[in-house]
Amino acid sequence: MEASTDLQETDVHRAEKSDGLISHLSPLLILSSIFFINFIARIILAPLMPKIEKELCIAHTEAGSLFLLISIGYFITLLGSGFFSSRLTHRKTIILSSAVLGVALLGTSFSSGLWGLRIEMLILGMAAGLYLPSGIATLTATISWRHWGKAIAIHELAPNLSFVAAPLISEAILIWYPWRAVFIALGITALIFALIFARFGRGGEFHGQAPSYSSFRDILSKPVFWILVVLFSLGISSTLGLYTMLPLYLVTEHGMERNWANTLIALSRVVGVGMALIGGWVTDRIGPKRILMIVFLLTGLMTIFIGLASTSWIAVSVFIQPLLAVCFFPAGLAALSLVSSEKERNIVVSLTVPIAILIGGGAVPTLIGFIGDISTFAWGIVLIGGLILTGTIFTGYLQLSNPTKAPEI
């Protein structure tokens, strides 16, 4: 492993030598673009679901379960990504992730039935899960630590922009082509960016560290870890979980035209980019615990309102709810940092996020779809809103340490 250490030091040396962020803007934008395609590939089913459900004649539960399969695949490879990067290097892992993602997206466009779609969604999720640990490792090794905050902020714009872009891209392509063309376009784009990163991307030419089962076991035995899992699951439920089934709900139960429903959802996420920054600023002012309680209370109530609102009020509720929900993440990540030591923090993140995505981004859409089949989508959304409200209770059990002390999880 001595050679890989030398390579890592070479990347860091380059970052220090060329200190300005502008000099690293090109590789940063390439990585951010790959992350954008990675994230949008996982949510693009949502705006297309009314079309897919009708064409394949599938039930709401089966529609929701597709997101569960994406989350299961994502969970598996995100948790075990260290096995790949420890053997391939981070650079090759990023290329592999983007290339397999492109193939999975192209394969989805040729799926003729539900089972074919299920297999492709599982593969898609597994391909997407490989990227994030290697992407962050490459970014922080390529760019000077003095600019990490700004660089990561640019990189993290990808998820919020994906929520806006997914419905708009879908509707633009659906004007002229069937829904399968959306997957073809994204698949080709993913393959192109795999080639772009292989040719022009910088950094990542060092090996990752394989996960340690002993460290996993120690963290899993701590009650506070499971509180974090619950909080992040509820936070992701209020954003990604609800987002995935919202177009189907608006079209089937409120009689909206698909293009108007997708446009409304896209517009509701635009302001969310700025709200996340405001949420981070307020978290620094009054503390993450208070913010989490406020966010879970207001987001839970607004989610319930989406389920109970009449058609004349539904647009208002759909617009306001994500403005509140997106404020969870700055406070949630700050709380996670305060209950974990610096040494354990990356392991806590690598365990908390995959489990939370599996629950909030996979199980929750399936549950909403199941309730939509036996009753109505509205009651499924009301139930999720009630569960989000319980986050105020679970937050009360968090004991946040002083950042100057060494916390233990």
Are 95 and 167 found together in one domain? Answer: yes
Domain count, the chain: 2
Check pLDDT > 60 for residue 180.
yes
Q: Are residues 2 and 145 in the same domain?
A: yes
Q: For residue 323, what pLDDT band results from cuts at 50, 70 and 90? A: confident
Last residue of a domain, one of 160, 187, 211: 211
CA distance 86 to 84: 5
pLDDT tens readout for residues 267-301: 888 877 777 667 767 777 777 888 899 999 999 99
Q: State the average pLDDT over residues 41-60.
A: 87
Q: What is the pLDDT of residues 336-369, one digit of tens each?
A: 767 766 555 556 777 888 889 899 988 999 999 9
Contact predicate 355/220, CB 8 Å: no
pLDDT in tens, 82-141: 778 778 888 898 999 999 999 999 999 888 788 888 999 999 999 998 888 788 778 777
Domain span at residue 363 reads 214-409
What pLDDT shows up at residue 72? 92
CB neighbours of residue 157 within 10 Å: 15
CATH code for the domain of 330: 1.20.1250.20
With beta carbons less than 8 A apart as the criterion, state whether 148 and 218 touch: no
Residue 218 pLDDT: 76
- Mean pLDDT of all residues in the chain? 82
Domain boundary among 195, 211, 227: 211
User: In terms of pLDDT, which residue wins out, 186 or 158?
Assistant: 186
Estimate to the nearest angstrom the gap between the alpha carbon of 381 and the chain centroid.
20
Q: Looking at the structure, tell me whether residues 330 and 366 fall in a common domain.
A: yes
